[in-house]
Structure 1
């Protein structure tokens, strides 16, 4: 064997080893894959997911499925081999990590943000459904999340409606922040809140912000909510977060509060954020959600208008599932009612 041959063999072996090592090195990307679907009209742990107290609820039929996406976690590494495998899989997508997560974002920060979005989206979805039914809803200031280990933990709770702080009525989240600052680090901030139909007073001692010793924090996230005329809740798993199920939540609440089956007894899936006035907004991972819905047997998938172009590229056959454009809560209700009456109805489809 000549020296050149030996050198070539060694070079080839080293090259193979180099590629093998590179294949398992982490790369700054995340993958999105079809996640589980959840029928919001069904039961969870023996109880209806949509809970109503103080108003008649109606039996319904069919399925209204929220769709999810499984995303590489902020603390999970993704190898080059895994990224390439996802790249060539039509049901998955690959994105730069900084498109999905902020730099140095922790698992706890992602979980908290997702929880806040879920609480906010559920309340907004309920509001959109009730407004569709003709209810007038006053706006309130609400606790969306309480940070673990914060001064407010064990005292304030998510969905507490803040009436006042230290005797001063509050009208928005900014007023709460200002009144906590006025109480100061180590002072007393007495919150009067409405919780489960009763008024409760709790006192919290603000602590200093980690990056500013003069800034007082109690460790809550607050925002705008609604004063509902009766109790409605959507009890979904804590594992599901974010605002993208807003439209499906709204439709499930509407279906529960009206006679008959909005779905016509067939499986319906969809996605989309929603505003208090019923406008449907875009979401991420639309193609993976459509694949998940088709796999679950859904006949119609409700698509936010801004996601229609991407939805058409999901690679799912029209005979498997119909992509129906949902501009608003009202238009979605009309489309489902038309489909329930006639499966050949002319619906506003993505095109």
Structure 2
């Protein structure tokens, strides 16, 4: 046996072993797949997702479906074979790990952030729907997250509206952090909130973290409404991208008749209190999920139109929805005539 032949025989298993190692080793990517869709006009268990106290409601047989994306978790280990299967799927996608999760964080932090964004999107949706109906709302500072184990845990709650901190009134532009910093270390801080229509007073002693006095709450601009509207989505769904569909469902619930004409409409998009619809991620997977669940019309944020054209929408129409008001008029026009001219996501979008 020549030296060259011996070297070749030794090299073959080494190359095979190297190939197998590469194939099964974790790679720095995440996958996107169509997630579940939820009819926001329907029920979560045996309870309506949209519930209203203090205002007449109107139920109908139509469906307004929020859409989701199934993303591999932060600690998932994806090998080459898994990524190749995903790459071969028309409805799935692959993205670099850093784009989805960055350089730091944990699954617990991801879940907490998703829930904060969900609370914020629901409140903005209520504000947008009521504003569309000409109902007055009032802005304030709302608690959208309470950190477990921190001083506020067990005393303050998500959706509490801050009214005063350390004796100072709190409004939409109040710097709550500055009020906490002004209190001597170790001193209990009186805090007053509105909770479910009742005034609640608590006393919390801040802790010091990174040189700042904190109580462990996440704040956003929130709103006080003249009646109560609740959105009960399963706890495993987070993020801000269902805002538009929440707002449409609330509007439909508070107005006579069926917005969809009894048909199935899906969509996505963040929403602000003034009704502006914003960009989201995973548009192609959301389109696929809506198509699979029988939607015939899909509302797309204008900023997502170009990417939406790469999704497999089948016969489902893709319609641009820049605002809540436009989305309402588009759904109404479509429900009256499925061939009605609408601002679609086309080649010129």
Shorter chain as normaliser: what TM range? over 0.9
Q: CA deviation at 1:342?
A: 1.4
Alignment-derived partner of residue 336 in structure 1? 331
Alignment-derived partner of residue 133 in structure 2? 133
Listed as ranges, the matches of 1:102-113 within 5 Å are 102-113=102-113
Q: CA deviation at 1:115?
A: 1.1
Q: Distance in 1 between matches of 2:186 and 2:174?
A: 20
Find the residue that maps to 1:287 and give its secondary structure.
helix
1:251–1:329 Cα contact (<8 Å) kept: yes
1:297 is aligned, of 272, 294, 297, to 294
Alignment-derived partner of residue 40 in structure 2? 40
Q: Which moved more, 1:75-84 or 1:131-140?
A: 75-84
1:67–1:293 Cα contact (<8 Å) kept: yes
Alignment-derived partner of residue 310 in structure 2? 313
**Taking structure 2 as the reference length, what is the TM-score of the superposition?**
0.96
Q: CA deviation at 1:340?
A: 1.4
Q: Distance in 2 between matches of 1:244 and 1:172?
A: 24
Listed as ranges, the matches of 1:183-194 within 5 Å are 183-194=183-194
1:216 is aligned, of 213, 218, 234, to 213
Q: Residue deviations 1:281-308, cap 9 Å, x none? A: 1100000000011011111110000101
**Taking structure 1 as the reference length, what is the TM-score of the superposition?**
0.95
For structure 1, the residue ranges without an aligned partner over 5 or more in a row are none
1:21–1:144 Cα change, 3 Å: same
Alignment-derived partner of residue 66 in structure 2? 66
Alignment-derived partner of residue 345 in structure 1? 340
Q: Which moved more, 1:222-231 or 1:83-92?
A: 83-92
Q: Residue deviations 1:96-148, cap 9 Å, x none? A: 11111131211121111111111111000111111110112111110000001
2:257 is aligned, of 244, 256, 260, to 260
1:173–1:222 Cα contact (<8 Å) kept: no
1:194–1:200 Cα contact (<8 Å) kept: yes
